[in-house]
Amino acid sequence: MSKIRDTDRAKRVQHVFDFWTVALGLEGSWHVSYGFVDSINNHTSFAEVHQNMPYLKATIMFDRVCLDGSTEQELEAAIVHELMHIMLSPLGQLIKDEFGSGALATDFDNALETCCDGLAEKLIYLRHGKASAYYDPQLPFNSDEKK
């Protein structure tokens, strides 16, 4: 069991979280928070977002094991990726409302995942002038099992 406390995790996450929620304009429209869980998909996902669309509330949950073993670049990419999900969630809700949870919704979810990856990578590149390490396929949370 890790000796890292959630308060220490929060200190690590907070500055990156604050920067990107402001940079993306989410602080004025959404109430976004974060928390930590023991496992997401058996440690194959770094983070996931839970949203309450009508009330514009969202919580990003971080897998403690993945977070504790991540670099700052991986953390930033995970945060931006999940914030992209929040920003694009009205589209997902529209698809679910219109078409339910059938094949079209599944295809949309897969396409949305790709879009969030690409947008996060480009935004981080614009900020730092370099790509993040988040997309390294050798990392356990980037394996094919997550899709």
Q: What is the pLDDT of residues 1-36, one digit of tens each?
A: 568 999 999 999 999 999 999 999 999 899 999 999
* Residue indicated by tokens 């370099």: 130
Chain-centroid distance, C-alpha 34: 10
Q: What is the pLDDT of residues 104-138, one digit of tens each?
A: 888 888 999 999 999 999 999 898 886 655 444 44
Among the listed residues 118, 112, 124, 65, the one whose alpha carbon sits nearest the alpha carbon of residue 88: 112
CATH architecture of 6-134: 2-Layer Sandwich (3.30)
pTM of the predicted model as reported, rounded to 2 decimal places? 0.84
pLDDT at position 84 is: 97
The Cα-based distances of 50 to 34, 58, 69, 86, 124 in angstroms read 10, 6, 23, 9, 23
The answer to whether 66 touches 141, Cβ cutoff 8 Å, is yes
Domain ranges of the chain: 6-134
